[in-house]
Amino acid sequence: MARKVLIIATDGFEQSELIEPRRALEDAGIETVVASPEKGEIKAWDKTDWGKKVKVDITLDEVNVSDYDGLVLPGGQINPDKLRIEEKAVSLVGEFVRSGRTVAAICHGPWLLVEADVVRGKTLTSWPSVRTDLRNAGANVVDQEVAIDGNIITSRNPDDIPAFSKAVIEAVNSSVNA
């Protein structure tokens, strides 16, 4: 059966952190679905200015966790900061983690893991400015390109995307939730 991964994002996602893992997943034969609070398109942040637009496939209200083998949370400062005040986004992140499905967050994306209260006792990494939030929420913070703890995968920044994508593909392909 084909694998399927949900990507939750909104305006201000770091362009490379959605586009590149999505391409890697699709190249590996894993279907991707982009969910956002509203239909239409979301706009990327590309290093120092607005970037490409990405089509939203479904709204957060339309997501059924059992339809997916995993979840990817791209970073960028704007995107996760906006999403962590979206009750439905936070609820879905918690539901994915508790289901045992793969949950992967990069850069500022782990803010959503903090907000969902699922980091206590977990070993995670992130963008440097997010690490204090992770520690304060009870996580063991490391500085490495990929940290894997159970079903949670985290990475620090766009330089880690190849290792991050590889870890997500391996986890999704070996998951038992299909």
Active site residues: 107-108
150: phi > 0 → left, psi -120 to 50 → alpha, else beta; which? left
Please report the sign of the dihedral spanned by the C-alpha atoms of residue 65, residue 61, residue 5, residue 101: negative
C-alpha to C-alpha distance for 42 and 55, rounded to whole angstroms = 7
Structure token digits, residue 90: 């936070």
On the CB side of 112, how many CA atoms lie within 13 Å of its CA?
A: 38
Dihedral, 141, 66, 60, 85 alpha carbons, nearest 10: -30
C-alpha to C-alpha distance for 135 and 146, rounded to whole angstroms = 17
